Amino acid sequence: MSSAPRTATERTKLPYCHESFHNLQELRHSASLANKVFIQRDYTDGTVCKFQTKFPSELDSRIERTLFEDTVKTLNNYYAEAEKIGGQSYLEGCLACLTVYLIFLCIETRYEKVLKKISRYIQEQNEKVYAPRGLLITDPIERGMRVIEISVYEDRGSSGSSSGSSTTSSSGR
């Protein structure tokens, strides 16, 4: 279904319609950044990297709940895999000790490998699921793995204030 221009009412549904969002990043001349949703970490199991799967209300009208939860659950699984203490990590540690940590210059640690996988996954999710819905996921590693940042975009023309605030929208940067 085509995205109807977001009316003011629709926009007010967002927790904060940031007309004053000064941090607009215009990806395309036709979409403007309207909002950012942050998925916080879930610390109920300790300091393992895990994000809350609770569906944020701001995304209620933008994406299906199941899609979102799938994404977060998959990310959580990736992180659990990265932090798993098993054979590979133990071997890595021993090798590092033996080579006086010079091995870190040559090979990639397990965590880094998984992070690359995560980055690829997020990219793919963005392309397939989120960008068509006007959303973008930012890799949590850029935020210190504290939050998953989801940027919410709006049609430039539909939201007056947002387009007003999006100074670049008209310039078609």
Partner 1 sequence: MPSGSMSGGLSGPTSPPHPTVPSRPLRPSRYVPVSAATAFLVGSTTLFFCFTCPWLSEQFSVAVPIYNGIMFLFVLANFCMATFMDPGIFPRAEEDEDKEDDFRAPLYKTVEIRGIQVRMKWCSTCRFYRPPRCSHCSVCDNCVEDFDHHCPWVNNCIGRRNYRYFFLFLLSLTAHIMGVFGFGLLYILYHTQQLDRVHSAVTMAVMCVAGLFFIPVAGLTGFHVVLVARGRTTNEQVTGKFRGGVNPFTNGCLRNVSHVLCSSQAPRYLGRKRKAQTVSVQPPFLRPQLTEAQLAAKVLDNGIQGDLHRSKSSLMESQSADAEPPPPPPPKPELRYPGLSRGPAGHSEESSLLNKAPPTPTMFKYRPTYSSPGKNHTALTHAYANQMSRGDSLKESSSSLLQSSQQPGYRSEPSLDGQEGGGVERSGPERTGGGPGGPPGSGITGYSLGGRSYPSFSDPTVLAGGASRSSNVRSSHNALPSEATTSTSYKSLANQTPPPAPRNGSLSYDSLLTPSESPDFESAVAEVSPGRPRTPVVGYSSPFLSAQIAQQREAELHQPCASSTALLASPQHAGYLRGFPSSPPAPPERERERQLHDSQPPHHHHHHHHHHHHHRPPRFSRPPLLSDSGPSQPSYPYRTRSTDTPLPNTTHPPRSPHPPPLGKSLSYSSAAAAEMQYRLVRKASASVGGGGIQAPKDEIQMKSYSQINGQPKPSSTPLSPSNPVSVSTRPGQAYSSAGSSQSPAHKPGGGVKKVTGVGGTTYEISV
Cβ nearer to partner 1, comparing 104 with 167: 104
Least distance to partner 1, CB of residue 106, Å: 13
Angle, helix 65-82 to helix 110-125, in steps of 10 degrees: 170
Cβ nearer to partner 1, comparing 19 with 74: 19
Least distance to partner 1, CB of residue 35, Å: 9
Cβ nearer to partner 1, comparing 76 with 126: 126
Least distance to partner 1, CB of residue 47, Å: 6
Least distance to partner 1, CB of residue 83, Å: 7
> What gap in Å lies between CA 49 and CA 41, rounded to an integer?
7
Burial string for 55-74 (b: 16+ CB within 10 Å, else e) reads bbebbeebbeeeebeebbee
> What gap in Å lies between CA 42 and CA 142, rounded to an integer?
18
Cβ nearer to partner 1, comparing 74 with 96: 96
Residue 32, classified by CB atoms within 10 Å of its CB into exposed (0-12), middle (13-18) or buried (19+), is buried
